[in-house]
Amino acid sequence: MPPRTSSRPLPKPQAMTKRPAGRSPTASPRAGRRLLASYAAKRDLARSAEPPAVAAAATRTARRTFCVQKHLAHHLHYDFRLEHRGVLLSWAIPKGPSTDPAVKRLAMQVEDHPVAYGSFEGVIASGYGAGIVMLWDAGVWSPLDDDVDAALVAGRLSFMIRATKLNGRWSLIRTRRPGRPSWLLIKVQDAYASRREVTSARPHSVNGSVDFPAILAREDREPWPDGPPVGGEAGDLLRSIIVRARRLAPRRAAQR
């Protein structure tokens, strides 16, 4: 079942202007392969449970899928994803989103992901991103700009979210930091703004009260029999999760 979304009313998005002639909202198979080439190149999809690099037909409405995935790999971070033109535009947010308008969270733009990735929750056993992925939030988003592509080029995208944990108006603003494209994710002041640290207050998956050990315990086989795939602080955290998952695994087997 899809996660429940907030029942509180949101302000209506700005009226959308007509799309310029010749601009198709649908991603062609060739365009989809090009957009997802980086995603495919970084993964061994024969060994990974992640979705294949297949672009979806782009939505023809202003409401598109949105998700945030809590990802423990070489470090703990949150992957913020907005569906656009048949793929998920993606940003890695080290500290996670904040509902406090005074807090600007660094968001590093990463490769586009397949739309199917928006429902992925599970374990990446090896390779790029090896670790655990939790579906932390999910819902829909609506652009508040007449032309999303132009807004992205200009470096300022305004949008509205309706989801389980994040709601209301938000902005992504590109910075001038050298290196990979970096942005700031900022909550706009509205009825959904709060100083409460939402990542701490609501740490679990939107698929019930599920945490990292529970996700790992679902695996039929232990993905890291020789220990976690990463070292350092993330490795220490994964080791503790592995121990807790092993305690849960016998219960899971008994319930089958």
Query: Which residues in the chain come in under a pLDDT of 70?
Result: 1-34, 58-63, 179, 251-256
- Provide the pLDDT for residue 217: 95
- Provide the pLDDT for residue 11: 46
The pTM is what?
0.83
- Provide the pLDDT for residue 220: 87
- Provide the pLDDT for residue 12: 47
- Provide the pLDDT for residue 254: 46
- Provide the pLDDT for residue 61: 58
- Provide the pLDDT for residue 2: 46
Contacts of residue 230, defined as CB under 8 A and 6 or more positions apart, other chains included, come to 73, 74, 130, 131, 238
Contacts 24+ apart (CB under 8 A), 32-39: 32/56, 32/86, 32/87, 35/85, 35/86, 35/87, 35/112, 36/87, 36/111, 36/112, 36/113, 36/114, 38/111, 38/112, 39/111, 39/112, 39/113, 39/114
- Provide the pLDDT for residue 196: 96
- The full set of domain ranges for the chain reads 29-208
- Provide the pLDDT for residue 59: 56
Q: In a 10 Å sphere around its CB, with 0-12 CB exposed, 13-18 middle and 19+ buried, how is residue 2 labelled?
A: exposed
